[in-house]
Amino acid sequence: MDITCTIIGIIVLAAFIVPFILLHIKKNNEKKTLRDFCDENDITVAEQETVNHYTIVLDREHRKFVRADVKGGSINSVIIDIEPGCQCDVDGDETSGVSLRIGSKKVRLTSADDGIQTNKEALHTAEVWKKKMNEMK
């Protein structure tokens, strides 16, 4: 009798646990990684830096700049083609927020409400990436 109850208990427990395990596995498989995103968009990562809540990627082979927010398995991104001779500049300052201007396009790195410390870091990051992109001429 005890063995029968134990077997029934294991079967009932498995009936409740297995669907949760399968759901968790399915959810993990649906999450998109930055690597998947780059593969789908034919981006070859030459340089990459994660800053605060986003990642910056430079593809020297295909001359592309990518700013990607990876949150909860989804990716919100900006992809800019860097034309030959294209000039990159930094817009903004520590109090108003920081953006990179690549040719005629602008990519926001911070907003005014991110805080001065974050804006200082973003300003430094923007200067570094400005130099890298301007060297690609």
Instruction: Give pLDDT tens digits for 90-124.
Output: 988 777 788 888 888 888 887 655 665 677 888 88
Same domain, yes or no, for 43 and 23? Answer: no
Q: Nearest 5°: CA angle at 55, between 49 and 61?
A: 70
35-72 per-position pLDDT tens digit = 888 888 888 999 888 877 788 899 999 999 998 887 76
Domain that holds residue 22: 1-30
Per-residue confidence (pLDDT) for residue 133, from 0 to 100: 85
Same domain, yes or no, for 49 and 5? Answer: no
Q: Who wins on pLDDT, 101 or 33?
A: 101
Same domain, yes or no, for 113 and 128? Answer: yes
Report the SS3 class of residue 58: strand
User: What CATH number did the domain enclosing 119 receive?
Assistant: 2.30.29
Per-residue confidence (pLDDT) for residue 5, from 0 to 100: 84
Same domain, yes or no, for 109 and 63? Answer: yes
